[in-house]
Amino acid sequence: MAKNHIIHTAKRPFGFRDILGYFMGDFGCNMSFTLISSYMFIFYTQYIGISLAHYSIIILITKIFDGINDPIIGAIVDRMGADKKGEKFKQWILRGSPFLALAATVIFIDAADWSYAAKLGLCIGGYILWDLTYTVVNVPYGALSSVMTSKPSQRAALSNARSWGYIIAGVPLGILIPLFTYEQVTKNGQTASIFRGERMFPIAIILSIISIVAFALLYLNTEERIQHTESEGEKVKFNYFITLKDFFRNRAILGISLASIAQILFIMGGNQLQQLTYQMYFRDGTLSSYAILTQIIPLFVGTALGGSLVGKLGKKELSTWPLLGAIAVYAFLYLVEIKNPILWITMQIIANSFAFGLAIYTWGMVADAIDYQEWKTGIRNEGSVYATYSMLRKIAQGFGQSFIPAAIAILIPTLDVKDAFTWTSENALAIRDMAVLFPLIGYIIIFICFKFIFNLDRKTVAEMQVALGRDEE
């Protein structure tokens, strides 16, 4: 197989416009991703009325199907290559974004009065449609940073921007939506915080329009500066199975993949349990509005501290050792029952602040792992490598989103999330314990992955960039 050669195209220098544009990409993605990951579960199980068992099976199967789409889309992107403007990834983002916006609104159609079979059909069909369109946009977006710049400090800035895109998108979703969708209802002398799902469809429409604007801003403000060409007289024959074999020999991508799987299964999956904890244990679903602080404040802390330290210590080092602090705090929360919601949120802010490296530098570590595969093989197929990483994330999302309702059904059989009369103090305490145990396990696994599997410390990254001819000036 012929090896790829790199051309640095004559485009404007990397600058703030690129950081802003890349920020807008994740902001646009999370107008639908965060909406669906945060509210689809409660929308379909509490409002539409799909059983926990059926919902678990639907999410698991559709996510596995969607995971298979990722390497297919990545392979197509790599095969088609750049357009006449020299843009390999941006063209897919621009064309796919309107379809992604449409699919996100379909999921939240008010089907409360439909037949049960029709409800299942909407859930399955809407989710598959959204997953497919999300893949078409997100896989090119994820690979885009690797061709915007090769400099470690600039990649760290893009990774930071992507993290902020996720967080800032979560502000209106995390703060405003609970205020509009939860309502205190008293029935037979019992007061409960009820989810009003009929209000989700207009919210989805508004957020979808915002996402289209965000993707347009990404397209206008980012540049693909690095192109890969064939040696003169040679033709690169793309073979995804060779790329896949190299992927599983790549310690760096395996380490970050396993850490991301743990993050999705136990930390992001645990967010569903946090939502139920506010609703059932603290008896006020609107408290979810303040939960966004557990992500925003740690990101501020990480941005303030990490900017001056990442160059000296490295992304791996800065992301690994502070995790021990997060593990200690969540262990305390599991052992000590806290009934004050403000203290509960404060302790999570402290725990997640120790894990700021995971939030800020993950995407930069993925870009380094893509470079590592090229360093070891001489072949660069960033679209397929990122798509395989994304496939593993998607499968983990499927297991995570299906595992939570399945775990509730198995471990707390007397709890019916649709029936407030079953939200007893015993069942609420069980939900609270699960909401702490999940992130505790997740951070332990991530520490092991970063410390013992991911092998790109600061010195190795510098050596790799020099070998690839991309050492930072």
CATH code of the domain in which 445 resides: 1.20.1250.20
Residue 123 is predicted with a pLDDT of 95
For 184-204, what is each residue's pLDDT tens digit? 887 767 778 888 999 999 999
Q: Is residue 365 part of a domain?
A: yes
Residue 362 is predicted with a pLDDT of 87
d(CA 193, CA 437): 24
Q: Is residue 369 part of a domain?
A: yes
Q: Is residue 472 part of a domain?
A: no
Model pTM score: 0.72
Structure tokens at 375: 């360093």
**Number of domains observed in the structure of the chain:** 1
Cα Rg, the chain, nearest whole Å: 22
d(CA 473, CA 455): 24
Structure tokens at 130: 């959204």
Q: Is residue 169 part of a domain?
A: yes
Q: Is residue 411 part of a domain?
A: yes
Which residues of the chain are under the pLDDT cut of 70?
Answer: 1-10, 188, 228-240, 307, 470-473
Q: Is residue 199 part of a domain?
A: yes
Q: Is residue 473 part of a domain?
A: no
The full 3-state SS of 69-118, as one line of letters, equals HHHHHHHHHHHHCCCCCCCCCHHHHHHHHHHHHHHHHHHCCCCCCCCHHH
Quote the strand ranges of 238-278, DSSP E: none
Q: Is residue 189 part of a domain?
A: yes
Residue 1 is predicted with a pLDDT of 40
Listing DSSP states for 408-438 in one string gives HHHH-TT--TT-GGG--HHHHHHHHHHHHHH
- Whole domain around residue 417: which residue ranges? 4-467
